[in-house]
């Protein structure tokens, strides 16, 4: 579910892909779509990509870039099956919307990735924006639906 004071709440679909090439980071890509009442894709919503760097003592640094002109640097930690991230730095181009902070909470529950995303943007304080339960897709080919 997505929603914010400046938009209507809606259902959305999401594809998240993590990759690893042997270097000390994970690649990350996310695409979302607005869904109609039957769960059919209506139109693209958001896209983001970046890198997750795992540090000693369960710490993380995450760099995420958005095509809307926003770049976020998150810091956080892994505690058991939970990851919590908060923005440390937000950079924006002159044409991007006003965005000042993000908070992301991820958890592995019964093999599914649950997450909640809060943001502070367009004059609104930090509050819920999106949440989802993502199921793993076996043998995913990221180039199949480009």
97 marked as part of a ligand binding site:
yes
Q: How far apart are CA 78 and CA 132, in angstroms?
A: 19
Burial of 119 (0-12, 13-18, 19+ CB in 10 A): buried
6 marked as part of a ligand binding site:
yes
136 marked as part of a ligand binding site:
no
Question: Is 77 within 8 Å of 69 (Cβ atoms)?
Answer: no
Binding residue numbers: 6, 97, 129
Binding residue numbers for heme b: 6, 97, 129
């Amino acid at each position: 579910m997505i929603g914010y004071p400046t938009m209507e709440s809606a259902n959305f679909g999401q594809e998240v892909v993590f990759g690893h090439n042997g270097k000390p980071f994970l690649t990350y890509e996310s695409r979302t779509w607005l869904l109609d009442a039957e769960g059919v894709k209506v139109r693209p919503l958001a896209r983001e990509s970046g890198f997750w760097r795992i540090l000693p003592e369960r710490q993380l640094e995450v760099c995420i870039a958005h095509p809307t002109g926003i770049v976020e640097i998150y810091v956080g930690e892994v505690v058991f099956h939970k990851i919590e991230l908060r923005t440390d730095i937000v950079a924006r181009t002159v044409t991007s919307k006003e965005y000042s902070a993000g908070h992301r909470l991820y958890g592995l529950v019964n093999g599914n990735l649950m997450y909640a995303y809060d943001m502070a943007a367009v004059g609104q304080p930090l509050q819920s924006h999106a949440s989802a339960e993502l199921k793993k897709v076996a043998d995913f080919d990221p180039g199949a639906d480009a």
